[in-house]
Chain A
Amino acid sequence: NAGVMQNPRHLVRRRGQEARLRCSPMKGHSHVYWYRQLPEEGLKFMVYLQKENIIDESGMPKERFSAEFPKEGPSILRIQQVVRGDSAAYFCASSPPGGGTAFFGQGTRLTVV
């Protein structure tokens, strides 16, 4: 049973470009969460999704950031017109239906140059 899979592991973008981060949850998990971590800091909640639904996006910046979890395929975190301050590690986690323990992927390290 594969764990939470994120890709790419490392992503470099120039300012103004778009970044797309992908997350495939563990088999049987229908809840996906995205977190952002800056160096030497804790993980900051961004968004909580179920298939085709955004449940809680209270941690998402109002502009440039969006997330989806389609019926088929991975969850996508999209950052438009990236700026240097978007450089961080982005972690995805998943949990089974009904909630329960969240398991994390290895993260995507985004560097904006």
Chain B
Amino acid sequence: EAGVTQFPSHSVIEKGQTVTLRCDPISGHDNLYWYRRVMGKEIKFLLHFVKESKQDESGMPNNRFLAERTGGTYSTLKVQPAELEDSGVYFCASSQDRDREVTGELFFGEGSRLTVL
């Protein structure tokens, strides 16, 4: 069974440009999460989808970030326009937690490293 896959693995862009990161969760996982790690600091939550709906987007830093999950399958995270402080590793994770059941086991992708010059 395929795990969580992310594309691209590494992207280098200039300030002001646009980048779109893609995440394919494990098949059948309704929950999809985006996290970001900046400069070796803590991994910070960005948002959580349940199927195609945004359940929690309290971690999105500003309106330059747009996440979508059309059809409840893969998700994209677009940064437009990119700023220097957006550099970091963007992790996607998925889980199959249902309703009130919380196992806490998120399955993570390898991350997409974004470098903004």
Whether A and B are associated in the same complex: the answer reads no
| Residue positions of B touching A, CB distance < 8 A | none
| Residue positions of A touching B, CB distance < 8 A | none
